[in-house]
Structure 1
Amino acid sequence: MASRILVIGGTGMVGQQLVAASINAGHPTAVLVRPPACDDPVKAKLVDTLCNNGASLVYGDINDRESLVSAIKDADVVISAVGHTSPELEILKQMYGPPVTRVTVYGDGKHQAMFVNEKDMCTLAIKAIDDPRTLHKILYVRPAVNLCSLDQLVSLWEKKIGNDLEKCYVAEEELTGKIQASPFPLNFQLAMVHWTFLAETLEFEQITVSNDASDDDGVEATVLYPDMKYVTVEEYLDNLK
């Protein structure tokens, strides 16, 4: 029998993808919503779409312990997709909106990072729920096809739009200073940028994955689910043009 799944934050960008992936996988899927959300026309439309696609609603609030405990008691698995709200949107525009004239490059642009589309990440999260191989493990998602540096990413985008972008380089010291001076959650967002593009982490090209896809702490999704087709960086950029 498929696990009953409750998604908290199911009306957000990632939350909607989690709900869709859960329903598509055949899980009875519920979404925790606050009653005021239905008074907001935009949120009400999202809620209607989720329900029409097969999700059920559970009313509650993550800041109300009693309602939260009541909401989760009928679920086998609870997934939180609750994010942050922030008035400082410039970094989000930089991260999620495609540049047309200039682009910020952190560090020297050579550090490689792994890019995974949120839809693929949500599909894998749902796959892992009833997979005993993932129990008490970190699920690593490292599709080699999406290993890319900022320089490579910018170059690829320039080719697609037929235009050279002005590069604004931000040194690590400058970014670190912004992290220290910024309030939450902007400092957290900037810290994630630093960790992704500047931190001295293990280089991905040095990572090898054994045939059993597992170590003491984690499992590798690309080995556990070899038939999974990932949205590539190039495919994602094609959809932005």
Structure 2
Amino acid sequence: MAREAEASRILIFGGTGYIGKHMVRASVSLGHPTCIYARPAGPATRPSNLNLRREFHSIGVHIIEGELEEHEKIVAALKKVDIVISALAYPQVLDQLKIIDAIIAAGNIKRFVPSDFGCEEDKIKALPPFEEFLEKKRKIRRAIEAAGIPFTFVTANCFATYFVDVLLHPHDPSDEIVVYGNGEAKAVLNYEEDIGKYTIKVANDPRACNRVVTYRPEPNIISQHQLISLWEEKTGRSFKRVYVPEEDLVKLSQTLPPPENIPVSILHSIFVKGDMMSYEIIEDDLEASRMYAEMQLTTVDQVLDIFLTDPPEPARAAFV
């Protein structure tokens, strides 16, 4: 049974980003006074970003414009909130050390959720390019623990819309689909809007304080072969599976220049080794769909329906 929590004042870094925008919308919909800390808008700001800012203004989100180097501005913002969530993208992972310093200086934050939202880095070991990235995320976790900041670490696994696009290329008329490894490894594909809602819930949940929460709903555990077969059923099409052997991914991880070597290493971890399902969730562990059984879950099957009825824009190349 989920515990009801009073409204918390929430500050989100990266709130105009790919996953951050879903957290902002979820925070507002769940009744929390919400603000975001974002870079100042300028001539180079994408139209989609400007549209998001207008949307957020219209629903009552307070936007604080500033850089991560502006320590005093961040501290002043933190003093007005209870919970901090970071949804900063991969290149800014270590910049979270600046947020940690500001949280320490502010001294009032009840919970910090750092930008994790992927695989469980404390339980897996990946190919070197991905491992180097995971080590940065571990560094952030250890810095939070050492500072004594109340935290929740989130293992959200795969962003479903993103990876459906990466794996199936539903906008592509081709009848070929690439399969990594033998296609049997199980992954966890969670809908981005659900990740946003779960994250706001765990950030406010006393049970999740100083704990890791994994998002692993049973209906969203799926292999590449199962995903392709489901897509074939829905579209009435038949796809030729083109296999990329494990050794080819390993070789690419060794020969491609950075950061191009990171995505292939991630594909190897998720869809060849099955790292997301490589450890058990025992009774004492926190799993979001068990914690909030009342929440209506979006299944992988329903995500594919979205692509049929209201196709999202194609995913970007980088998914770290």
- 1:105 partner SS: strand
Any gaps of 5 or more consecutive residues in structure 1?
Answer: 86-90
Which residue of 220, 230, 252 corresponds with 1:146? 220
Is 1:73 the equivalent of 2:79? yes
CA distance in 1, matches of 2:216, 2:165: 25
Which residue of 158, 162, 172 corresponds with 2:232? 158
For the 8 Å contact 2:168–2:228, the answer to whether it is kept is: no
For the 8 Å contact 1:106–1:169, the answer to whether it is kept is: yes
Which residue of 299, 304, 312 corresponds with 1:232? 299
What is the identity, as a one-letter code, of the residue corresponding to 1:123?
K
1:200 Cα deviation after fit: 5.5
- Give the stretch that moved more between structures: 73-82 or 231-240: 73-82
Any gaps of 5 or more consecutive residues in structure 2?
Answer: 1-5, 92-162, 309-320
Q: Residue 104 of structure 2 corresponds to which residue in structure 1? A: none
Is 1:27 the equivalent of 2:32? yes
1:56 Cα deviation after fit: 0.6
Q: Deviations over 1:59-90 (max 9, x none)?
A: 111244444444433232221112248xxxxx
1:203 Cα deviation after fit: 4.3
1:161 Cα deviation after fit: 1.6
- 1:13 partner SS: coil
Q: Relative to structure 1, is the Cα distance of residues 56 and 108 closer, same or farther in structure 2, using a 3 angstrom cutoff?
A: same
TM-score between the two structures when normalised by the length of structure 2: 0.65
CA distance in 1, matches of 2:235, 2:276: 33
TM-score between the two structures when normalised by the length of structure 1: 0.84
1:226 Cα deviation after fit: 1.3
Q: Residue 11 of structure 2 corresponds to which residue in structure 1? A: 6
CA distance in 1, matches of 2:81, 2:54: 21
For the 8 Å contact 2:185–2:274, the answer to whether it is kept is: no
1:107 Cα deviation after fit: 0.3
Q: Residue 88 of structure 1 corresponds to which residue in structure 2? A: none
Q: Residue 94 of structure 1 corresponds to which residue in structure 2? A: 166
Q: Where in structure 2 are the equivalents of 1:125-140 lying within 5 Å?
A: 125-140=199-214
Q: Where in structure 2 are the equivalents of 1:87-236 lying within 5 Å?
A: 94-95=166-167, 97-98=169-170, 99-101=172-174, 102-199=176-273, 201=275, 203=277, 207=280, 209-210=282-283, 214-215=284-285, 219-236=286-303
- 1:10 partner SS: coil
Q: Residue 50 of structure 1 corresponds to which residue in structure 2? A: 56
1:146 Cα deviation after fit: 1.4
1:236 Cα deviation after fit: 0.6
Identity %: 34
Runs of 4+ in 1 over 6 A off after TM superposition: none
Q: Deviations over 1:104-146 (max 9, x none)?
A: 1110001111111111111111111121111111111111111
What is the identity, as a one-letter code, of the residue corresponding to 1:13?
Y
For the 8 Å contact 2:215–2:288, the answer to whether it is kept is: yes
What is the identity, as a one-letter code, of the residue corresponding to 2:183?
G
For the 8 Å contact 1:38–1:44, the answer to whether it is kept is: no
For the 8 Å contact 1:6–1:79, the answer to whether it is kept is: yes
What is the identity, as a one-letter code, of the residue corresponding to 2:56?
L
For the 8 Å contact 1:7–1:81, the answer to whether it is kept is: yes
Greater relative contact order structure (CA < 8 Å, 6+ sep): 1
What is the identity, as a one-letter code, of the residue corresponding to 1:55?
V
- 2:190 partner SS: coil
